[in-house]
Structure 1
Amino acid sequence: MTKLEQLLSQYAAYHLNHKNIVTHFVGIPLIVFSIICLTARAGVMFSGIEITLALILLVVTIFYYLSLDKIFGLIMLIVFAVAYPFAYMIAQWSMGAWLGASIGIFVLGWVIQFIGHFYEKKKPAFMDDLVGLAIGPLFVLAEMVFMLGFRKDLEQRMLEQARKQRALMDSKIVHQASVH
């Protein structure tokens, strides 16, 4: 199993309910965009170009995604390249408008996420492993690619592993409940 399959399977174990996955199509992009907005305001000029904290985070994230999968990494590069100018524009607003919009988007994204986890009846993956915060956007991209009919072999392996992991998680919960 590749590192990508392992990470996606681990994340998918918390996301097997279709309603939960659908909420993630909205919630995760909102959260990611809000983080880009919040970090696009902090920057320094270097040779006439503003290097923002958002750019640094995006570059690091893209390198991480590319190390896991070239295709997904390139698609995320395109997504971030489209999102960044909008986030940068918001970062130029007045302090109150920028913070209000960025934090509002962030909170809305998390509310949508937690609604999805209500349907799933599972806590978010990041509560057990912080890597889930980085894998969430990649999971949403992978799910979209799968829905479009591509990379079905990866989807099958991911789901098979995720169901096994979910069964283990559920059996531990049942075991802990019976002990108490």
Structure 2
Amino acid sequence: MSPAFELLVRYARYHRDQRNVTMHLVGVPMVVFGSAMLLARAPLHLGGVTTTPAWLAFAALWLWTLSRGQFLLGLATTLFTAALAWAAHGLVGLSAMSWLTLGIGLWAAGWLAQSVGHYYEGRRPGFAGDLAGLLVAPMFVVLELLAMAGLCRPLVARIEQAAGPTTLRDLAQPLAR
């Protein structure tokens, strides 16, 4: 189980173009929200408690996030994704067609936004060889948002020292391999 710093450095190495980071700030929450919507509709009855697959999946994500060695970042990520999951659960009353269209639409649009970001990056997403990146993405987004608010700057500086600074790739240059 890798600590948050190592995971964030690995993730950041695939996200050095500022346009890619921006697209992930939009796309990752859309994927999280869309996933929560799609998993929120079916109730599960477990020993007298009613929950949903979304809450179970997010509980696992939260435990994983909180156990990476950056507790405050893990807590902020948990609160951020909990807010998205809670909002998604508020939409389960939509008609089946509206719920499915919105859930799939947000999920797909979020992935599309990230794909556009990786075009700017000039690199394929790193999760193809490292599925942990799918779990790290919300933490990366929350860290970027906290940094914009002037928080977590020492952690961001350490990550940038290891992964390199954010840039704007010259789109006229060949893609990195």
Give the shorter-chain TM-score range.
Answer: 0.7 to 0.9
Instruction: Name the CA shift for 1:128/1:46 in 2 (closer, same or farther; >3 Å).
Output: closer
Greater gyration radius:
1
* Match of residue 20 from structure 1: 20
* Cα distance in 1, alignment partners of residues 75 and 117 from structure 2: 28
Amino acid at match of 2:84: A
Tell me the secondary structure at the aligned position of residue 44 of structure 2: strand
1:69-123 residue CA offsets vs partner (Å, 9 max, x unmatched): 2111211222233222321122332221111110000111111111111111011
Q: 4+ residue stretches of structure 1 with deviation over 4 A?
A: 46-49
Amino acid at match of 2:18: H
1:29-88 residue CA offsets vs partner (Å, 9 max, x unmatched): 000111111111122235765211100111111111111121112112222332223211
1:105-152 residue CA offsets vs partner (Å, 9 max, x unmatched): 011111111111111101112122111110011001111112222222
* Match of residue 60 from structure 1: 60
* Cα distance in 2, alignment partners of residues 82 and 15 from structure 1: 25
* Match of residue 88 from structure 1: 89
Tell me the secondary structure at the aligned position of residue 45 of structure 1: strand
* Cα distance in 2, alignment partners of residues 11 and 80 from structure 1: 18
Tell me the secondary structure at the aligned position of residue 25 of structure 2: helix
Question: Percent of aligned positions with the same letter in both sequences?
Answer: 32
Amino acid at match of 1:81: A
Greater helix share, 1 or 2?
1
* Match of residue 78 from structure 1: 79
TM-score (structure 2 length as normaliser): 0.85
Whether contact under 8 Å (2:8, 2:140) holds in the other structure is yes
> Cα RMSD (Å) of the superposition?
1.9
Amino acid at match of 2:105: G
* Cα distance in 2, alignment partners of residues 4 and 152 from structure 1: 15
Q: Please, which moves more after superposition, 76-85 or 142-151?
A: 76-85
Amino acid at match of 1:54: A
Tell me the secondary structure at the aligned position of residue 14 of structure 2: coil
